[in-house]
Structure 1
Amino acid sequence: MEDIRVVVSIDFGTTYSGFAISHKENPEIETNNVWPGVTGQLKTNTVLQYNDSKFSEVQDWGFPALAKKASRRIRQQAPSKPIELFKLHMGNLPDNEKPPLPKGLDFKKAIADYLEKMGKIQVLTLIKETVSKRWPNINFMEQVLVVMTVPAEFNEHANAILRDCAFKAKLISTKDSERLQFSTEPEAAAIHCRSVLKEHFLTDVGTNFLIVDCGGGTVDLTTRELLPGSRLGEITERTGDFCGGTYVDKEFIKFLKRKVGDSAINLLEEQNYGQLQYMIQEFCSKVKIPFTGVKKDFKLFELDLEDVCPVIKQYITGAAKSKLEKDEWIIDLDFDTVKSFFDPVVGKIIRLISGQLNNGKTCSAMFLVGGFSESKYLLKRIREEFSAQVKNINVPTQPQAAIVRGGVEYGLNMKIIKTRVLKWTYGIELSPQWKPGDPPERRISHNRIDIFSKLVSRGTVVDVDQEFGKDLFPSIEDQTAASMKIYKTPELDGKYPDDPGMERLGELILDFPDPYLGFNRKLRFTLTFGQIEIKAYCTNQNGKSVNAAFNLEL
């Protein structure tokens, strides 16, 4: 890590992705704004287009993977449907709510392919153009630190999958490389928003502020405290849910289905997906983003199907077709209709914010970041709901770049985060002697019983490097290795490894050196839970490091 010269932050988002870089000797942050097919935007679409049904090679990625507006006379059809929203497969959504993927394509391959394209084409180009000119001979695999931002609701398994995908994308040379670090999206945004605090004269140690990261798929929240030395502490558990901006788009599609019929939209999606996407983008740019929620500001929007999606006419039948022909293929979007697209989504976000604010501590400011934070209606509703509790509710400049720029700042100084709040209770499985009073049915071989032994409770504020562990002694005289099962639970404690809600995370494997010493040996193993990834450490009785590995069950 001492050889790191360049930090690259990657914001791999549900609908849009971006990255930024900086050199340690001159930590000015450069946010990429040149992408395939488009210039001047801070992010590009998280979309892939493969060139065959075997998904062997990526044909297009980013914006070009989505088809453009079709001519009224020429039927345009993409060679295959683009792959999108594949990041949602890493979240804890029910399987029936995860976006379908083509048969034969695993979501992990899609993620790795996308990250590889971004790394090979964009990241290396920007490093070459902006860094290598001043600091030549940068070795990507040895001197570049990659920080990936992840949603707050991602669990250990999701982060491990992302690490594996980053390795397959050749962003790191070994799967367990420390050149890849993680930061949660709201945490990265909070780091970036420290400068915004100064603009509002909120520089006192102890100032609390809430970050609401409104992305395309997810909304993540974290409440932070300003500590001495401009460091940040976390004072409540990170929260999040699937209620980002794309869920407004889904409400729009539901409305269209009521107007043109389910079958018409389904056929459009199957056979002319590019035109469906173009229609959604037209809705976003001309209706969704400008919508303020103020009725007198709203002008009736006429969705001209012949203009934005001409091919849909051939899929509409029956009474719906007769009505649309009479209306010259125009569908009116009035104020109440558009508002109905927003309200279910905004309601979820408001409930998430309430949960963060109802912790008994004063919150001096709230900052909305992410693409959906540009919604004027969302900001209006949040201010109406919470202005009595929080005096400063604002959207910083370029909210889309807040996360990726904060990720760079974190990579330049990872000590900037001092504490985090644990979302789970962690512990290990032990097998002590069964004794009278223990449940008879839990008695196992050798007169033992499996129990859950807590290491740290949910809700605990921990330093990022704080260690939790126990002393171990050999159970047999010539033992050379030891293994331990690690569990987590949403409860404050647990009794047995099979308690309701208990989840086995993986296994801690330790070397037990010096077998010639027999039973006269002791190991001290520790786990750190304050980092985004769980880390394992172990020393013997002489304080020397012992090989320790924490293997997640994927």
Structure 2
Amino acid sequence: MEPSSSGFNYADYPVIVGIDFGTTFSGCCYAFAQNEEVIDIVKWPKQNNHVYPKTPTLSLYRKGSTQLVDWGHGARRQAMKPNSVDFLLLSKFKLYLDEHLQQEALPNNLQVIDVIADYMGAFHQHVCTELLKGFAGNYDQSKFRYCLTVPAMWSDHAKAAMREAAIRAGLVQRGDHPERLMLISEPEAAALYCEKKSEQFNLVHGQRFMICDAGGGTVDLIVFEIDQQMGGRRTLKEVTNGHGGSCGSGFLDLRMREYIKHKFYHFGSINDSAMEHIMDTFVNIIKPEFDGYEDHFLDLPASMGLGDLTDESIGLENGSLCLPANELRDQVFEPVIDQVLQLIEGQLVQSPNNLEAIFLVGGFGQSNYLFRRVEEAFANRVGMIGVPPRGELAVVRGAVYFGLNPQIVTERVSRRTYGVETRMLFNKDLDPPEYSVVGVDQKTYCRQRFSVYVQKGQSVRVDECVSKNFVISYPNDTDSDLFAFDGEGPPPRLTTHQLIKKVGHFPIRMPTLEGVRPGDKVNMTIRMYFGLTEIKIECVIRDKTFVFTSSFDASDAYGSVQPQNESDYPGSQQMMPPPTAGLAPPNPYGLSDPSGSQVSLHGHQSSYTYGTSMSTPTMVPAQQAAGYPQAGGYPPTSSVYGGGYPPVQGDYYQQQQQQQQQQQQQYSQGYPPSQSYYSGYPPASQGYPPQSGSSYYGQH
């Protein structure tokens, strides 16, 4: 594999490790770059002959402590012991990064990034032990690079938090090149796996297929098109704006608990160990086998003391409870599966033509009943509905395929509208007078205009680069901000608008340049790539390139990460206004963009120009940036649940309340699961569920 354009040499890291950090289970595979054979890690600590190739995403802490006691199977086992009152079992903590769910603080004053880092650290240590057994000392962990999967619906902030957690967990060092740790969206990874297996499905150039990745917590969907020019290698292009919802199979478990509680309501409450026994039977036997037609029978655990009881009113005969197919269907399965069908419908609407296949992957994707319902609903609209072999490993195996060949996906659809803050000629009909400012050319400009770099829904090639040139006085440092708009329709004109969020602040430090005197003008280019899983930003000064990934998005919250070698930088001074270069008016806010309004997207034949007036990106020190939300006050991005409502005007907490009301209305239609269900998931003693208003960034 070639070194990347930004100077990362893949050959230095011959071992590729794929990690699927899941809501309910996590998995890992690896491969050697030279032979590309993917090897699954199937041995997990304390797994007791379980053959499932993944390990539970569970962490155990002592009450009042932030020290991890155990993880995975061991955490569950310890928590089930009779004397475990001093312990907290944390589950489904990945959902804390989903900004669409209401959140409350974790117990023990734990922070979500640290909880994920603790789990990943223990998980990674085990993975390294397993890998190094097989290598017989040929390699060590310094030769590994990583590909980590993230939900398609996660915001830039959530991805940045995941990268930060992986660094804290010790997968990579803070000073490593960002490409040593790659992120890939889960349905995209699953698509690579299905494409590899697609010889058996006979998919050819130009055909499209949908991935429905149904796991324990979330269901993610996306449509890809196979691209194979004559004699060339097969690559994939994203066709739709991938989206998803929180309607994984964990919500079936939730409904099952409610259903069983309701059944035995007149016997009083069911003790915890009896309920766990019943749920084990549901999870391991009923859930995978349920087909919608056949009744199931549940032998009640002895601890319920109902061994020889018969109660026809609830279908109990000699301690065996009949669960009629129609009740399981209507009360447990349908409300959740209906949401999955609506998500599939949403993708079909975005890509109505040429859809050859729907592939069901993930643990929930193996459900017979889900397969049957998808077939009933969509068989007449797509070529085939397939469940690939080992679908529960599709995501993590696909992550390794991506690590082996990151160029396999050539085009992605932007999930948000991104841009920078600029000055443009003042329009008295549209721009507020208080934003007007007179330039040295005596023309009136509007400050804080939102200059769009890439539109939501726009297809962007992975190598497509938005490039801007600036002039800066040596040896000054500078910084820049990236803004995003999540709504539909034309983006607002001003970055101060309620719906425009600042998603990134990246500091650019002037390197030491030989033979350049203080005050000399230095050219600098900022290149932004929007076609990758994370936004990548490169800043080029002379022959030096600085690379930022979405970790810049987290920098305000986590404290800025300094470049490694302090001595390379001659120190920071006040920024001076740059020369006008005969084009742009002087910019009191920082840098000048001598190129005028032209925004060139390299890698396409054409150049797009957004807006015809002069655009000078303003690079503002963070504290001056208008309307920047405080760490932790990031309002959720607009809903993925199909409503697409933008956050409401007004302050953040008012937005939260109104959003909750809107969600409540949506919930009352059965989509997603109703709030009352959510409140018992998992038991409250485990410090869950998340509710509104928690700030999980910047409390360290």
For residue 90 of structure 1, the aligned residue among 76, 97, 102 is 97
What SS does the aligned partner of 2:107 have?
A: coil
Question: How many equivalent pairs are there?
Answer: 520
In structure 2, distance between residues paired with 1:432 and 1:517: 31
In structure 1, distance between residues paired with 2:264 and 2:179: 53
* Cα distance change, pair 95–312 in 1 and its aligned pair in 2 (3 A): farther
Deviation of the 1:468 alpha carbon: 1.2
Unaligned runs of 5+ in 1: 314-320
Deviation of the 1:363 alpha carbon: 0.7
Deviation of the 1:383 alpha carbon: 0.5
For residue 343 of structure 1, the aligned residue among 334, 344, 368 is 334
Report what 2:208 is aligned to. Answer: 208
* Cα distance change, pair 333–175 in 1 and its aligned pair in 2 (3 A): farther
Report what 1:80 is aligned to. Answer: 87
Q: Which has the higher helix share?
A: 1
In structure 1, distance between residues paired with 2:66 and 2:297: 40
Per-residue deviation, residues 398-444 of structure 1 (Å, max 9, x unmatched): 11111111111111111111111111111001245756553114347
2:147/2:181 contact within 8 Å kept: yes
In structure 1, distance between residues paired with 2:359 and 2:524: 46
For residue 442 of structure 1, the aligned residue among 397, 418, 435 is 435
Per-residue deviation, residues 303-362 of structure 1 (Å, max 9, x unmatched): 51x33xx2799xxxxxxx9x9999776654221221121111111111111111122321
In structure 1, distance between residues paired with 2:256 and 2:496: 44
Report what 2:418 is aligned to. Answer: 426
In structure 2, distance between residues paired with 1:548 and 1:292: 51
Per-residue deviation, residues 179-220 of structure 1 (Å, max 9, x unmatched): 111111111111111132210222x21121111100100001
Counterpart code for 1:65: A
Q: Which shows bigger deviation, 454-463 or 430-439? A: 430-439
In structure 2, distance between residues paired with 1:173 and 1:263: 56
Counterpart code for 1:50: Y
1:511/1:547 contact within 8 Å kept: no
Report what 1:316 is aligned to. Answer: none
Deviation of the 1:511 alpha carbon: 4.1
Counterpart code for 2:336: V
Counterpart code for 1:291: F
What SS does the aligned partner of 2:537 have?
A: strand
With the length of structure 1 as denominator, give the TM-score of the two structures.
Answer: 0.86
1:428/1:452 contact within 8 Å kept: yes
What SS does the aligned partner of 1:166 have?
A: helix
Report what 1:498 is aligned to. Answer: 496
Report what 1:398 is aligned to. Answer: 390
The answer to whether 1:179 aligns with 2:180 is: yes
For residue 245 of structure 1, the aligned residue among 241, 244, 249 is 249
Deviation of the 1:523 alpha carbon: 2.6
Deviation of the 1:153 alpha carbon: 0.7
Report what 1:126 is aligned to. Answer: 130
In structure 2, distance between residues paired with 1:444 and 1:256: 67
Counterpart code for 1:252: M
* Cα distance change, pair 325–398 in 1 and its aligned pair in 2 (3 A): closer
1:369/1:400 contact within 8 Å kept: yes
2:24/2:217 contact within 8 Å kept: yes
Deviation of the 1:366 alpha carbon: 1.2
In structure 2, distance between residues paired with 1:494 and 1:529: 20
Deviation of the 1:166 alpha carbon: 1.0
What SS does the aligned partner of 1:206 have?
A: coil
2:211/2:358 contact within 8 Å kept: yes
In structure 1, distance between residues paired with 2:216 and 2:145: 26
The answer to whether 1:353 aligns with 2:352 is: no
Deviation of the 1:43 alpha carbon: 0.6
In structure 2, distance between residues paired with 1:114 and 1:403: 19
Identical-residue share of aligned pairs (%) = 29
Report what 1:363 is aligned to. Answer: 355
User: Residues 473-492 of structure 1 correspond to what in structure 2 (within 5 A)?
Assistant: 473-474=471-472, 480-490=476-486, 491=488, 492=490
Report what 1:41 is aligned to. Answer: 52
With the length of structure 2 as denominator, give the TM-score of the two structures.
Answer: 0.69
2:448/2:496 contact within 8 Å kept: no
RMSD: 3.1
Report what 1:17 is aligned to. Answer: 26
* Cα distance change, pair 443–328 in 1 and its aligned pair in 2 (3 A): farther
What SS does the aligned partner of 1:34 have?
A: coil
1:22/1:408 contact within 8 Å kept: yes
Report what 1:318 is aligned to. Answer: none
1:428/1:487 contact within 8 Å kept: yes
Per-residue deviation, residues 107-144 of structure 1 (Å, max 9, x unmatched): 222211111111112x11221122x13xx341312x10
Deviation of the 1:77 alpha carbon: 5.2
Report what 1:106 is aligned to. Answer: 111
* Cα distance change, pair 443–117 in 1 and its aligned pair in 2 (3 A): same
Report what 2:151 is aligned to. Answer: 151
1:67/1:78 contact within 8 Å kept: no
In structure 2, distance between residues paired with 1:230 and 1:110: 39
Report what 2:608 is aligned to. Answer: none
Report what 2:505 is aligned to. Answer: 507
In structure 2, distance between residues paired with 1:174 and 1:217: 30
Counterpart code for 1:411: G
Deviation of the 1:69 alpha carbon: 12
Report what 1:334 is aligned to. Answer: 324
Unaligned runs of 5+ in 2: 1-9, 440-444, 558-700
Report what 1:195 is aligned to. Answer: 196
Deviation of the 1:479 alpha carbon: 7.2
Deviation of the 1:81 alpha carbon: 3.7
Counterpart code for 2:197: V
What SS does the aligned partner of 1:367 have?
A: strand
In structure 2, distance between residues paired with 1:258 and 1:33: 38
Report what 1:317 is aligned to. Answer: none
Per-residue deviation, residues 506-537 of structure 1 (Å, max 9, x unmatched): 11333467785868554321111111111111
For residue 470 of structure 2, the aligned residue among 462, 472, 475 is 472
